[in-house]
Amino acid sequence: MLENDATPASHPSAPDRAALERAESLILEVPDYPAAGILFRDITPLIADGPAFRATVDALIAPFAGTFDVVAGLEARGFLFASAAAYASGAGLMPIRKAGKLPRPAAKVDYALEYGVAVVEAHADFPRGSRVLLIDDVLATGGTLIAAHALMAELGYEVAGTSVLFEIDDLGGRAALNDPQLHTVFHS
């Protein structure tokens, strides 16, 4: 819920299939980065192309038009899509940051990594009950997004949905997240 009870405007239209196919073709696969055995998805060619970037932002928010007040982006690449989605929809923007990056975190949640524990934090700049669309770039094992869901609950926000640019199907993130409102634009 926005403080002034205004509802963000719905985004005018969903992208066409050809635009999305072209956008997907711009995601480069970089083997052995940042470590041996990892296949990194480089989205910089996609975001460098205006029409491709617009098509993916439209696709991220289209299923949720009119259902959210705030777009929350996960550090770091999720910020890129979330800020564009917030602008396109007229919604507010919430950064979800790694520990120690915010000057006045209102809540934080720990989550497990394969090599340790990480923490995400957020401010409480929106009224309790605000409807939040979570956006991230990649869904792999789901740990970061699970933590983001817990963070929203701790802050008293309602998760309107989760939207991800790219899902790596074989890593089990969808099952771990268990979010019936999960939307992904591309899959591998």
Strand partners, 131: 158
What is the SS3 string spanning the chain? CCCCCCCCCCCCCCCCHHHHHHHHHCCEEEECCCCCCCEEEECHHHHHCHHHHHHHHHHHHHHHCCCCCEEEEECCHHHHHHHHHHHHHCCEEEEEEECCCCCCCCEEEEEEECCEEEEEEECCCCCCCCEEEEEEEEECCCHHHHHHHHHHHHHCCEEEEEEEEEECHHHCHHHHHCCCCEEEEEEC
Residue 97 designated active-site: no
Residue 174 designated active-site: no
Q: Which of 41, 77, 97, 131 is catalytic?
A: 77
Q: Which of 17, 75, 114, 174 is catalytic?
A: 114
51 CB contacts (<8 Å, ≥6 apart)?
19, 22
Strand partners, 111: 118
The set of catalytic residues is 77, 114
